[in-house]
């Protein structure tokens, strides 16, 4: 199972709307610039965190724990050399 384009496009659109669209509708006030920067940084960091988590699932660092019998069966079925 590989990465699908649809989730990446959807979440990029969602966080893009937060980071690009919402800063334009912040009401005028003394802290408007700070709120706009907070929205942009929040969108960028949340999108990056989501992307890292999503991509980490494509090639996990920790695989399943298999017992010896299962490994031997897999090696035999997949045409590999069995462990001795």
The model's pLDDT over 49-69, given as tens digits with 9 standing for 90+, comes to: 999 999 888 877 787 888 999
Give the angle 8-4-57 at the CA atoms, nearest 5°.
85
Q: Contact 46/15 with Cβ under 8 angstroms?
A: yes
> Which residue segment(s) compose the domain that 65 sits in?
5-77
Domain count of the chain? 1
Residue 45 belongs to a domain: yes
Residue 40 belongs to a domain: yes
The mean predicted confidence, pLDDT, of the chain is 89
Residue 51 belongs to a domain: yes
Percentage of the chain beyond pLDDT 90 is: 60
Q: Contact 32/26 with Cβ under 8 angstroms?
A: yes
Residue 55 belongs to a domain: yes
Q: pTM score, two decimals?
A: 0.68
Q: Contact 3/55 with Cβ under 8 angstroms?
A: yes
pLDDT for res 82:
58
Q: Contact 8/48 with Cβ under 8 angstroms?
A: no
Residue 83 belongs to a domain: no
Residue 9 belongs to a domain: yes
Residue 33 belongs to a domain: yes
Residue 63 belongs to a domain: yes
């Amino acid at each position: 199972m590989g990465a699908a384009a649809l989730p990446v496009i959807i979440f990029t659109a969602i966080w893009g709307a937060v980071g690009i669209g919402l800063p334009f509708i912040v009401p005028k006030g003394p802290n408007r610039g700070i709120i706009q920067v907070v929205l942009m940084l929040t969108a960028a960091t949340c999108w990056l965190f989501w992307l890292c988590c999503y991509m980490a699932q494509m090639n996990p660092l920790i695989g399943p724990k298999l017992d010896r019998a299962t490994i031997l069966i897999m090696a035999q079925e997949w045409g590999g050399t069995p462990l001795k």
